[in-house]
Amino acid sequence: MPRHLAIVQALERIFQGINRLKEAFPNRMFTIDGRLVGDIGEIIASLEYELDLHERSQPDHDAETSDGRRVQIKATFRDQLTFKTVPDFYLGFKLFEDGNYKEVFNGPGKVIFDRYKSRKGIGKQLLSFPIKELNRLSLEIPEDLRVPKRNIS
């Protein structure tokens, strides 16, 4: 198959998928050049966790819990997640090409900040942190300090 045809066919499939996501979740843009992965993470969080996703993306948090605490949601296909400001809660997901995902971190943003407080730019700049370390930190967080999962029956 010529390389150009492979690009054309692959992009066609990608945009078919994006259009399908936009139809199912019209409050998100799913733009391929920057927001696609983040929007998918936000939709996963809104379906799986007890939070209300903002209609429009906010710079420092994406959702709120029923008691008004701010939740920052991050997703990636890579081995690192980003962190900038210190939200009340941080939800991080590792996405996989087959459509599955794994919760990497669920807990107070302050836990990440405290762990990396000596790192230059923490709380001010967008920094990347290893998923393995975020997952290790998350395992130590008690259930009452997490964004609860929805009761889906």
Question: Where are the chain's structural domains?
Answer: 3-145
Q: In what order do the strands lie in the sheet with 52-53?
A: 52-53, 63-64, 70-76, 89-95, 101-108
The reported pLDDT for the residue numbered 82 is: 95
For domain 3-145, the question of CATH label 2.30.30 is answered with no
The reported pLDDT for the residue numbered 87 is: 95
The reported pLDDT for the residue numbered 73 is: 96
Distance of CA 61 to the CA centre of its chain: 11
What is the DSSP track for the chain? --HHHHHHHHHHHHHHHHHHHHHH-TT----TTTTHHHHHHHHHHHHHBS-EE-SS--SS-SEE-TT--EEEEEEESSSEEEE-S--SEEEEEEE-TTS-EEEEEEEEHHHHHHHTTTSTTTTTS-EEEEHHHHHHHHHTS-GGGSPPBP---
Confidence of residue 1 (pLDDT cuts 50, 70, 90): low
Position 28, amino acid: R
Per-residue model confidence as pLDDT tens digits over 64-103? 998 999 999 999 999 999 999 999 999 999 999 888 999 9
By mean pLDDT, which of 21-30, 33-42, 61-70, 100-109 is the weakest? 33-42
What is this structure's pTM? 0.86
CB–CB of 135/93 below 8 Å? no
